[in-house]
Structure 1
Amino acid sequence: MARTKETRANAAPGAGTIFALRAIGLVILARWLFSMADLDAGASLLAMLSSPWACINLVFLFLLIFLPGARAVAERPFHPLPQWLRQALRLFAFLGFLFAVWSVGAFAASAGWRRAANAVAASNGWLLAAPALYAAVLWICRPRALWRTNIAARRFAIGRYAVALDPATRTVIVWAERRKVGQYDARELSVRWAAGQEARTTPTPTPVPAVAFGGVREPGGSGASLGAAAAPSLAHGAFGRRPKIELLWDSPAAAGHNRQTVFRTALTTEGDRAAARALDTSLQQV
């Protein structure tokens, strides 16, 4: 079968994240240079060296624009950045957001809302745009799994964890964001639900419909039907606490690893709940 020729027009997954971060860095840098245009080079350099906040911003802008080690790869579409770079950008963006919000809030409290509105208009909205840009970097670099859930491909995303199940070799690989947690025998893994929400049910002898998983016909349901057969409703617990699941590894052959927790995470979205139900059902079918 003829393969589609890859060209530069076909951007790899994750290239949009790199582009967005660099664009934000260039916008912040352009505004910073514009605000210091009235000063000469010597005065600007002296002001930066005497300000710890300016030095932090310089490091932040360098990382944000050059993104050392960033590379868009199809195998990790949501993680084109190295883990250390993602954590550094989150830290600097959080500090920048706090400083921007505190500066604008302190000025509005001391000068009054009318003068604050005039200052926002005089700065062409930069006093509001700056915190928004820092918040955007925080959101882009938030913890998340390597990919979206794809039940047909046996790929599951639950919180910041990604799980890949290979039915042919009966192996499961687990990642925490971009870090590989380990590779396990699928027959030794099980999903444990929060107290009062036990998902495992006694199998019944009645036949159930079959659904195709990557070209292989296996018993079970798809999407919501998997969840209906495997787990009850995952409503919020007492005091609004999110339900949690654990992926357990129980290996009789590995001394000291019996009933070890691979990961524990809260189910924050409906996608997490559906992925957890599908993962539980798939592990039972291996």
Structure 2
Amino acid sequence: MARAHHTRADPAPGAGTMFTLRAIGLVLLARWLHSMAQMGYAESLSAMASSPWASINGVFLFLLIVLPGARARAERPFHPLPQWLRQALRLFAFLCLLFAIWSIGVFVWAEGSRRTVRAIAATNGWLVAAPSLYAAVLWICRPRSLWRTNVAARRFAIGRYAISVDASTRTVVVWVESRKLGQYDARELSVKWPAAAAIERERPAARVPAPAGAPVAGSRGGATTLRAHGWARRSQVELLWDSPAAVGHNGQTVFRATLATDGDRTAAHALDTSLRQI
């Protein structure tokens, strides 16, 4: 069987994320140095020495450009950053975004829309670009699982949880973002569905009549499936550990996740089927 040969020129999974974050940090740093040059480096440094906000921005830029501890790895395609760095960048980006929106809002309130448009043109759009860059860092560092769902490889992603099932050793490893939550015996794990989702799982083709005079989105011929209801589409699923080794009692909840997307629901059904087959 032919195998794919990876060369040194092939980018490692997660390298694009690191490149994007460093690029954003360099753009922010370049703009910062440009502003310091306009004000004068001596005055800027003296003002920054007594400004806590300047210290926050300095730490944020350092973390963005250096990315300490970051490493692209194939087994963690969506998490090249260590968890502490991801959370720190998320916090700093959120604070910077709030400050930028507040500053722009005060300026618009005090000066009016015309002077705001002039200020945007005078700064080459920086008043709009800066909040966008902070929002981009927030989005890149959002909570997510280690990988996408791959049923053939028995890897599942539900929300920010990643589950790997090893049928040969009958073990299951659960990750929350980039932190290992635990390793369990697959025969002691089970998926718990809420009432509506359980009906959907047992009878996926079951239909209930739509109320008279109240059309439901997705209904066909006066009937609709349970999945069409919002409360069923955003239901929660639990992974239970039924073992004497559970803390104090059987049926300990390993995690509880919201089925917010079709991918989450598909992964949950596939995980349930995989656990039942072991």
Q: 1:257 to 1:73 in 2, by over 3 A?
A: farther
* Distance (whole Å) between structure 2 residues aligned to residue 148 and residue 196 of structure 1: 26
Cα offset, 1:233, TM superposition: 3.0
Q: Secondary structure at the match of 2:172?
A: strand
Q: What amino acid is the match of 1:94?
A: F
In the alignment, what sits opposite 2:209?
A: none
| TM-score between the two structures when normalised by the length of structure 1 | 0.84
Pair 1:7-2:15 in alignment: no
Pair 1:142-2:142 in alignment: yes
Q: 1:53 to 1:155 in 2, by over 3 A?
A: same
* Distance (whole Å) between structure 2 residues aligned to residue 261 and residue 39 of structure 1: 57
* Distance (whole Å) between structure 2 residues aligned to residue 122 and residue 255 of structure 1: 62
In the alignment, what sits opposite 2:257?
A: 265
* Distance (whole Å) between structure 2 residues aligned to residue 197 and residue 87 of structure 1: 33
In the alignment, what sits opposite 1:62?
A: 62
Q: Deviations over 1:94-142 (max 9, x none)?
A: 0000000111111011111111011101110000000000000000000
Q: Aligned residues: percent identity?
A: 70
Q: 1:176 to 1:101 in 2, by over 3 A?
A: same
Cα offset, 1:167, TM superposition: 1.1
Q: What amino acid is the match of 1:140?
A: I
Structure 1 runs not aligned, ≥5 long = 203-231
Q: What do you get for the CA RMSD once the two structures are aligned?
A: 2.0
Cα offset, 1:83, TM superposition: 0.4
Q: 1:255 to 1:80 in 2, by over 3 A?
A: closer
* Bigger proportion of residues as helix: 2
Residues 58-137 of structure 1 aligned to structure 2 (within 5 Å):
58-137=58-137
* Distance (whole Å) between structure 1 residues aligned to residue 175 and residue 33 of structure 2: 41
Q: Deviations over 1:15-62 (max 9, x none)?
A: 000000000000000011111112333212111111111110000000
Contact 1:234/1:243 (CA < 8 Å) preserved in 2? no
* Distance (whole Å) between structure 2 residues aligned to residue 66 and residue 234 of structure 1: 47
Structure 2 runs not aligned, ≥5 long = 204-225
Cα offset, 1:156, TM superposition: 0.3
Contact 2:246/2:252 (CA < 8 Å) preserved in 1? no
* Distance (whole Å) between structure 2 residues aligned to residue 254 and residue 174 of structure 1: 15
Q: 1:76 to 1:257 in 2, by over 3 A?
A: farther
* Distance (whole Å) between structure 2 residues aligned to residue 127 and residue 68 of structure 1: 29
Pair 1:250-2:239 in alignment: no
Q: 1:234 to 1:261 in 2, by over 3 A?
A: farther
Q: Deviations over 1:251-285 (max 9, x none)?
A: 14657241000000111111111101111111111
Aligned length: 256
Q: Secondary structure at the match of 1:264?
A: strand
Cα offset, 1:201, TM superposition: 4.1
Pair 1:164-2:158 in alignment: no
Q: What amino acid is the match of 2:125?
A: G
* Distance (whole Å) between structure 2 residues aligned to residue 263 and residue 233 of structure 1: 23
Q: 1:65 to 1:255 in 2, by over 3 A?
A: closer
Q: Secondary structure at the match of 1:172?
A: strand
Pair 1:283-2:275 in alignment: yes
